[in-house]
Amino acid sequence: MNFMDWYRADRLPTIFCVGCGNGTVINCALTAVSEVGWKREEVVFVSGIGCSSRAPGYIDADSLHTTHGRALAFATGIKLANPDLQLVVFTGDGDLAAIGGNHFIHACRRNVDMTVICMNNQIYGMTGGQGSPTTPRGALSTTTPYGAEEGTFDLTALSIAAGANFAARWTSYHVKELTNAIRAGLETPGFSFIEAAVQCPTGYGRRNRLREPEDMIEFFRTHSMLRQKYDRLLAEGKLVPPDTIVVGEFVRRDRPVLGGKK
Amino acid sequence: MSKISFIQGNIACAEGALAAGCRFFGGYPITPSTEIAEHMAMKLPKVKGTFIQMEDEIGSIAAVIGAAWTGVRAMTATSGPGLSLMMENIGYAVMTETPLVIVDIQRGGPSTGQPTMASQGDMFQCRFGSHGDYSIIALSPATVQEMYEMTAEAFNLADRFRVPVFLMADEIIGHMREKMTLPDTVPVMPVRERTERSTLPFKAEKDGVPGFTPFGKGHHVHVTGLTHDERGYPSTTNPDVHERLVTRLVAKVESTRREIASYDVTNPEAETVFVSYGAPTRAVWQALHDLKDDTVGHFRLKMVWPFPDWVEELFPQAQAYIVPEMNLGLISRELERHVTIPVISVPRLGGALHEPEELIRAVEGAK
Amino acid sequence: MKLVIDPRRCKGCNLCVKVCPYRIFRPGRRPNERGVVVPELDRPERCANCRLRRLYGRTICGVCQLTCPDQAIRWEEEEAYEPRKVAVEY
Ligand SMILES: Cc1ncc(C[n+]2csc(CCOP(=O)(O)OP(=O)(O)O)c2C)c(N)n1
Ligand code: SF4
Ligand code: SF4
Ligand code: SF4
């Protein structure tokens, strides 16, 4: 079965802007889900609020499009009430790390058996491009008109520190690697976190000299560095270029899981 | 065999839930409701149910909604500050037609207020607290027995209407111990579940309620808090879709007001009528007992929302209503909207129940 | 197998142009009736998936389809060879 068969064809095309990376990540996630062979009846797709969180609405399976930031708490309830269901959560950087930050660390801590895919576009897309907890220092947004001054969250590191069993980061350029990482996440019991850097040409790119969708894809291509190389450079005391996106698998472990199949 | 028992209101509430088949509890500790969570934590695992202490009340209600969508009976219990945090997701439960039970053991507010003292300050919040137009059901127990029975009944109402049902108790009833009869079983209504996958999972049946489509049964249902059509798909800019949906959500509850209403009428020929719900009901009972005046009656609400707005039919000779409440007058205002004779509010703040003498004086003042 | 772009779904982002290693997609020139400039295909029979999918029994490459944010790229079975009508001019 091809990932295309998982879409609600009657709802396409999506509401996403031209060249938005969210669609790519949904393709990869659905490819991974069909590769692991889950049946539609056993998967529930959950999300919060944001452009990225519209994903479940396009998938032909049970899906819960919840309130802003709360997807993981809803998903926790579903998983614990019926551990036979497989949970896949789509979320955005604002949804997950700002308003939903507390649920995020606690879902990691509990190591609830679910796979969480965060489309990190470094911006609040749906509300028109305000700064988020992952907006890089200096980047322009409608609420950081003079450049973002706050520090950012490293979402993957946060998930690891909080206790997730699996964590990986890729980008919408690395479709094969991203698919494989999501698949590994689906197959790893416990909380699996996959951070997917995505382009938001409308809310982010337009204000940060990455106007065309392909500009951002090109940025991902040229600025990504494998985790192994990054670690080596650090160990050797060498300089890592700023703006580097470190990609790869960061953790895979088997801490005790909450809500595993009974 | 039913058995006589001497237990705390909060424990009776938890036992009523368990008897009704509640198998999921998500909560966060808060006085004066915590005993409910603690009791559920102890009992649920023994009946293959799930207890989870969430990171806050927003998470609690979210987890309960998620659990409810797997088809289990699910509940949470809290008090004012927690209820405030739950508000957004209560609106979500209304919009997505999720059956669930919320127990509010009311304490003095605003803010952290009086954690260990009773109040009825949340009676409007449970009805109007979330944004937008909607309707819910709220029950208000006055005895430990009712903590048990009403909690069990709340699940039937929630399932029937696919709506959040509130048990609006207070610190007095929650922490009071009194004798009660534990029945062998409680009435459990079957859930109207769709048996087959439908392309219109949110198409209502004649009573305005769509058959339930829990997750994991092949319904492929998309559930969203956005305004949605009968397919469950977002439709956020079409005024007709929104109007139809919201009107139905309200009407499915409000149109059955008379059928589901639950109240006690004492002395329908009365000229002066006490109107009460929850703990002050006990003070009224005492006052009536002490007064021994057959021109005084009592309209005691067991279901506060939807409000029985046909009160005047029940007390055709009434000249005044006296409404003792543990707030500055909330339900008295609702009553005022529906009657033509004076409504005398007898407010009480601070946590202590009304004195029967205070109520007797109010009757004398009304005459 | 035949590579096709669904003109009702494509939004014209040109990401397919960016990612295909064979440069099979190139930016389109004219907007269609939806106002979208759908990319054009340059000798799509060169596509790895077109050539090898049947042989390997699975999607080969497929990067354009996975990347296309609007689910507009797919492969269709080609109809069996049909003799084309040739307008013969006498
Ligand atoms: C409680 C609440 N606050 C604010 C909003 C408004 N809002 C909707 S989406 C959004 C931000 C979404 O950003 P992100 O999670 O990064 O997702 P993206 O749209 O970028 O994919 C906000 C603030 C809301 N819907 N609910
Ligand atoms: S605003 Fe950004 S994230 Fe939202 S659909 Fe447009 S490109 Fe995508
Ligand atoms: S990637 Fe898809 S949507 Fe974008 S131009 Fe190519 S076919 Fe069209
Ligand atoms: S499958 Fe690969 S080779 Fe074929 S068109 Fe797509 S990107 Fe190019």
Indicate which CATH number applies to the domain containing B312: 3.40.50.920
How distant is the Cα of B67 from the closest Cα of chain A, in angstroms? 5
Instruction: Kindly state whether residues B222 and B334 are assigned to the same domain.
Output: no
Instruction: Kindly state whether residues B305 and B332 are assigned to the same domain.
Output: yes
Assess whether pLDDT exceeds 60 at residue C81. Answer: no
Residue of C nearest to A199 (CA): C69
Hey, what are B37's tokens?
């969570």
Cα→Cα distances A145→A68, A152, A207, Å: 24, 17, 10
Instruction: Kindly state whether residues B212 and B321 are assigned to the same domain.
Output: no
Domains contained in chain C, number: 1
How distant is the Cα of C36 from the closest Cα of chain A, in angstroms? 10
Chain A residues with CB inside 8 Å of C63's CB? 175-176
End of a domain among B260, B277, B295? Answer: B260
Instruction: Kindly state whether residues B190 and B308 are assigned to the same domain.
Output: no
Instruction: Kindly state whether residues B49 and B195 are assigned to the same domain.
Output: yes
> Do A24 and C19 count as a contact with CB atoms less than 8 A apart?
no
Assess whether pLDDT exceeds 70 at residue C86. Answer: no
Range of the domain at C36: 2-76
Instruction: Kindly state whether residues B290 and B361 are assigned to the same domain.
Output: yes
Evaluated on CA atoms B348, B354, B356, B358, the torsion sign reads negative
Closest by Cβ to B62, choosing from A42, A44, A66: A66
The pLDDT, as a whole number, for residue C88 is: 60
Closest by Cβ to B220, choosing from A62, A67, A77: A62
Chain B residues with CB inside 8 Å of A262's CB? none
The pLDDT, as a whole number, for residue C84 is: 56
- Report which protein residue has its CA nearest ligand 4's atom 6: C64
End of a domain among B222, B241, B260? Answer: B260
> Do C71 and A23 count as a contact with CB atoms less than 8 A apart?
yes
Closest by Cβ to C11, choosing from A18, A172, A212: A18
Question: Is C90 inside any structural domain?
Answer: no
The mean pLDDT value of chain A amounts to 97
Chains C and B touch (3+ CB pairs under 8 A): no
Is the N-terminal amide bond of B110 cis, ω within 30° of 0?
A: yes
Instruction: Kindly state whether residues B190 and B173 are assigned to the same domain.
Output: yes
pTM of this prediction exceeds 0.90? yes
The three-state secondary structure class of C29 is: coil
* pLDDT-derived band at C89, boundaries 50, 70, 90: low
CA-based Rg of chain B, rounded to a whole angstrom?
21
Which is nearest to A111 in space by CA: A262, A249, A248, A254?
Answer: A254
The pLDDT, as a whole number, for residue B214 is: 98
Indicate which CATH number applies to the domain containing C15: 3.30.70.20
Rounded CA-CA distance B348/B355 in Å is 10
Instruction: Kindly state whether residues B192 and B337 are assigned to the same domain.
Output: no
Instruction: Kindly state whether residues B153 and B254 are assigned to the same domain.
Output: yes
Q: Where are the domains of chain A?
A: 22-252
Domains contained in chain B, number: 2
CB-based contacts of B324, cutoff 8 Å, min separation 6: B274, B276, B280, B283, B284, B346, B348, B354, B358, B359, B362
Exposure class string for A53-92: b at 16+ Cβ within 10 A, else e? bbbbbbbbbbbbbbbbbbbbbbbbbbbbbbbebbbbbbbb
Question: Is C46 inside any structural domain?
Answer: yes
Rounded CA-CA distance A67/A75 in Å is 12
Check residue C48 and report its DSSP letter.
H
Local mean pLDDT, 10-residue blocks, chain B (367 residues): 91 98 98 98 98 98 98 98 98 98 98 97 98 98 98 98 98 97 94 92 97 97 98 97 98 98 98 98 98 96 98 97 98 97 97 96 92
Rounded CA-CA distance B150/B147 in Å is 6
- Ligand 4 center to C23 CA (angstroms): 8
End of a domain among B232, B260, B288? Answer: B260
The pLDDT, as a whole number, for residue B231 is: 97
The pLDDT, as a whole number, for residue B2 is: 84
Closest by Cβ to A61, choosing from B55, B70, B220: B220
How distant is the Cα of A249 from the closest Cα of chain C, in angstroms? 20
Instruction: Kindly state whether residues B236 and B159 are assigned to the same domain.
Output: yes
Check residue B189 and report its DSSP letter.
P
| CATH T-level assignment (fold) for domain A22-252 | Rossmann fold (3.40.50)
Range of the domain at B74: 1-260
Chain A residues with CB inside 8 Å of C13's CB? 18-19, 213-214
Instruction: Kindly state whether residues B242 and B272 are assigned to the same domain.
Output: no
In chain C, which residues touch A (CB < 8 A)? Answer: 8-9, 11-15, 17-19, 59, 63, 65-72, 74
Question: Is C81 inside any structural domain?
Answer: no
Give, for all 262 residues of chain A, the pLDDT tens digit: 689 999 999 999 999 999 999 999 999 999 999 999 999 999 999 999 999 999 999 999 999 999 999 999 999 999 999 999 999 999 999 999 999 999 999 999 999 999 999 999 999 999 999 999 999 999 999 999 999 999 999 999 999 999 999 999 999 999 999 999 999 999 999 999 999 999 999 999 999 999 999 999 999 999 999 999 999 999 999 999 989 999 999 999 999 999 986 5
Cβ of residue A125 lying under 6 Å from some atom of ligand 2: yes
**Is the confidence metric ipTM above 0.85 for this complex?**
yes
Assess whether pLDDT exceeds 80 at residue C90. Answer: no
Instruction: Kindly state whether residues B88 and B154 are assigned to the same domain.
Output: yes
Question: Is C82 inside any structural domain?
Answer: no
